């Protein structure tokens, strides 16, 4: 397959474009801005799988009723430092942010808060919610599951998909906003990255995918099109496969949002339902600010002092690569493959933006 070209777009222009699409679709200005900023931030950090390429799917779901515009999070079970929040299938960029603010307020009061967030439309890059907690001075860990569409990821040693990419995140506050942000899918690769490769007509690296027969494949098409579908493999063999199972149970069953199973799978829709179990800790009420902050800084310095392997410039801690990519993309613009860009422009036309508006907002 021949590779497709790319369009380079400034982050501010891309944010305005996505904001206009969401507003025209019926989101109020505040919601549209939150969705756009979250998606563009994912692109800036280099996580294109969770960036503006999601917009066509989002608009498809708002029009189908599986994503509710202008909806807000609601605490439905309140036990002080333990709360359950229902997202009502509202935009994840809104309801997850509100749920984390509930958790931040409770953790500041009690020293800890466990938040069970359920029934949200796609909540995007999980690191964003860890960063929100870290900005408030809190340590947080997050377990996420996904249901509402077909299975994507095979369990360890399995030849058929049984769950989805089930992310895990842990974030630790750092000085000047330079937080430690560990955020990853428990699959070898996020489904969105397979979509990006498919749109670019690229092949995937070996060891990430299997086809319908359970055989290794580098073709992203085994996850797209009309099937028969293959599966993404879990990362780290039994370790990633095991963590994926834990994420589905903690985020899905424990919160009441349901696991990914025949009860929740919808083969004929693009529905995306996220549930998330979050644990927020105020370190000032556990070991004391001065102790943990200094020891964390000393440990990070010790880790980074390791001599890099040949061909590697420096040892980095989680969160640093994303900040470096963000600085680079802010300066140079965000590269979007032409297939994804065309889909974004088509979505803008679908919601009612005129051709002149599409050209003006997109800069093309």
Residue 306 DSSP label = S
Residue bearing the bigger pLDDT, 198 or 17: 17
Amino acid 3: pLDDT: 58
Lowest-confidence pick of 26-40, 130-144, 164-178, 285-299: 285-299
Residue 205 to residue 147: CA distance in whole angstroms? 26
Which band of pLDDT confidence, cut at 50, 70 and 90, is reported for residue 362? confident
Nearest one of 4, 7, 5, 11 to 327, comparing CA atoms: 11
Distance CA 168, CA 190 (A): 12
Q: Residues 296-352: pLDDT tens digits?
A: 999 999 999 999 999 999 999 999 999 999 999 999 999 999 999 999 999 999 999
pLDDT at site 364: 58
Do the Cβ atoms of 133 and 280 come closer than 8 Å?
Answer: yes
Residue with tokens 């051709």: 355
Residue 226 clears pLDDT 80, i.e. is over it? no
- Residue 154 is predicted with a pLDDT of 98
According to DSSP, the β-strands at 168-172 and 180-184 are: antiparallel
Beta bridge partners of residue 276, listed in sequence order: 117, 144
**Token digits of residue 123:** 């909540």
82, β-bridge pairs: 79, 114
pLDDT at 1: 42
Angstrom distance (rounded) from CA 147 to CA 272: 6
10 vs 290, which has greater pLDDT?
10
Residues 209-233 have a mean pLDDT of 93
- pTM for the full predicted model: 0.95
Compute the Cα dihedral for 15, 30, 88, 138 and give only its sign: positive
Average pLDDT over residues 272-290: 90
Q: Identify how many contiguous H helices and E strands the chain contains and give both numbers.
A: 11, 12
Q: What is the pLDDT of residue 13?
A: 96
Instruction: Report the C-alpha gap between 55 and 353 in whole angstroms.
Output: 15
Distance CA(231)–CA(213), nearest Å, equals 10
58-115 residue pLDDT tens: 999 999 999 999 999 999 999 999 999 999 999 999 999 999 999 999 999 999 999 9
- pLDDT at site 306: 98
pLDDT averaged over every residue in the chain: 94
Query: Which residue blocks in 161-286 are alpha helix, DSSP H?
Result: 191-200, 238-247
* Locus of tokens 């967030």: 117
Q: The sheet that has 74-79: what strands, in order across it?
A: 74-79, 82-86, 112-121, 273-281, 139-147, 168-172, 180-184
223 pLDDT higher than 90: yes
pLDDT tens-digit series, residues 287-310: 776 788 889 999 999 999 999 999
Residue 267 pLDDT greater than 90, yes or no: no
Q: Are 104 and 79 in contact (CB under 8 A)?
A: no
Q: What is the pLDDT of residue 34?
A: 98
How many other β-carbons are positioned within 10 Å of the β-carbon of residue 316?
15
């Amino acid at each position: 397959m021949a590779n497709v070209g790319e369009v380079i777009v400034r982050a501010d222009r891309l944010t305005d474009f996505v904001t206009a699409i969401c507003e025209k679709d019926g989101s109020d200005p505040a919601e549209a801005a939150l969705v756009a900023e979250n998606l563009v931030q994912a692109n800036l950090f280099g996580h294109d799988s969770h960036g503006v390429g999601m917009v066509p799917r989002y608009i498809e779901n708002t029009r189908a009723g599986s994503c509710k515009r202008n909806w807000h999070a609601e605490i439905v079970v309140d036990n002080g430092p333990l709360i359950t929040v229902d997202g009502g299938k509202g935009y994840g960029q809104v309801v997850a942010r509100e749920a984390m603010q509930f958790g931040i307020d409770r953790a500041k009061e009690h020293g800890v808060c466990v938040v069970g967030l359920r029934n949200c439309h796609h909540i995007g890059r999980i690191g964003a919610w860890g960063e929100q907690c870290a900005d408030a001075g809190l340590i947080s860990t997050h377990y996420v599951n996904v249901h509402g569409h077909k299975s994507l990821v095979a369990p360890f040693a399995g030849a058929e998909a049984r769950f989805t990419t089930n992310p895990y995140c842990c974030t630790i506050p750092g000085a000047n906003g330079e937080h430690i942000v560990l955020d990853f899918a428990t699959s070898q690769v996020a489904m969105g990255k397979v979509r990006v490769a498919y749109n670019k007509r690229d092949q995937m690296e070996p060891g990430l995918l299997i086809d319908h027969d359970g055989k290794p494949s580098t073709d992203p098409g085994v996850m797209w099109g009309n099937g028969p579908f293959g599966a993404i493999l879990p990362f780290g063999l039994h370790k990633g496969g095991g963590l994926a199972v834990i994420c589905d149970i903690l985020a899905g069953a424990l919160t009441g949002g349901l696991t990914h199973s025949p009860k929740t799978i919808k083969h004929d829709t693009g529905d995306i339902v996220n549930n998330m179990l979050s644990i927020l800790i105020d370190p000032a009420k556990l070991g004391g600010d001065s102790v943990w902050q200094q020891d964390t800084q000393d440990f990070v310095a010790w880790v980074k002092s390791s001599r890099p392997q040949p061909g590697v410039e420096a040892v980095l801690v989680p969160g640093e690569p994303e900040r470096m990519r963000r600085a680079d993309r802010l300066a140079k613009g965000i590269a979007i493959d032409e297939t994804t860009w065309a889909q974004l422009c088509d979505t803008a036309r679908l919601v009612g933006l005129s051709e002149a508006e599409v050209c003006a907002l997109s800069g093309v």
